[in-house]
Amino acid sequence: MEKHEDRNLVKEPNFAYGSYTYADYLTWQLDEMVELIRGKVFRQAAAAPRRIHQEITMILANRFYEFLRGKSCKVYTAPFDVRLPVASRRHEDIDTVVQPDLCVVCNPDKLDELGCVGAPDLIVEILSPGNNKKELQSKYEVYEASGVKEYWIIHPDEQTLLIYLLEGEKYSSSRLFTLGDRVKSQALPGFELDLDDVFGEL
């Protein structure tokens, strides 16, 4: 997280009460990663992500990077702040900032020195023990409401991928993909992923 010398950094705020904004978030100097969803703070696990989580992240990042080479879309991996404003880009008005495992942003106007402001075109979340409820419920809701076109959820232990596509203002779900399947992205026309190349390497 970028430090701002013109702000009074807070080492350990009391997250038990109140609602917070991105302006508050920028003042925090923490030893752990946190996300802000509709004003509520979600702490990341204290331990580093499991090895399988890291391997899947690297495989996918490489596949996206190679596909997007020379294109306007860019892929980013966590930690990378994605701010999802409702009606304003002002820090004080933004109450959601998340750090997806991977995201693809095709509109350069959404990128600044702090990360992304506005909905990425595609987000990938790789589930870890203890964060399933957040990914499956809280993030699903804000991604849908914010207009994230395509949302992938990967379950490493079960070696599955579920894709949500935004149709109008609501998500529709794909079938559950697994080993032997090739998946295509509607947000990134032409992109295909062989899940044997992902899970078969683990």
Determine the average pLDDT of the residues in 116-137.
Answer: 86
Does residue 13 surpass a pLDDT of 70?
A: no
Determine the average pLDDT of the residues in 69-77.
Answer: 97
Domain ranges of the chain: 51-199
Does residue 191 surpass a pLDDT of 70?
A: yes
The pLDDT, as a whole number, for residue 74 is 98
Determine the average pLDDT of the residues in 26-37.
Answer: 84
Q: Is 199 left (phi over 0), alpha (psi -120 to 50) or beta?
A: alpha
Nearest by Cα to 9 from 34, 28, 31:
28
Cα 163 from Cα 174, distance rounded (Å): 5
Q: Checking DSSP bridges between strand 182-184 and strand 192-194, what pairing results, if any? A: antiparallel
Q: What kind of fold does domain 51-199 have according to CATH? A: tt1808, chain A (3.90.1570)
Nearest by Cα to 42 from 100, 85, 3:
100
How many other C-beta atoms can be found within 10 angstroms of the C-beta atom of residue 56?
23
Does residue 83 surpass a pLDDT of 90?
A: yes
Q: Which pLDDT tens digit goes with each residue over 131-166? A: 667 667 889 999 999 999 999 999 999 999 999 999
Helix (H, G, I), strand (E, B) or coil at 196: helix
Q: Checking DSSP bridges between strand 160-167 and strand 170-173, what pairing results, if any? A: antiparallel
The pLDDT, as a whole number, for residue 7 is 42
Query: Which residue spans within the chain are E strands per DSSP?
Result: 34-37, 40-43, 74-77, 82-83, 97-98, 102-105, 111-112, 115-117, 122-126, 150-155, 160-167, 170-173, 182-184, 192-194
pLDDT band per the 50, 70, 90 thresholds, residue 15: low
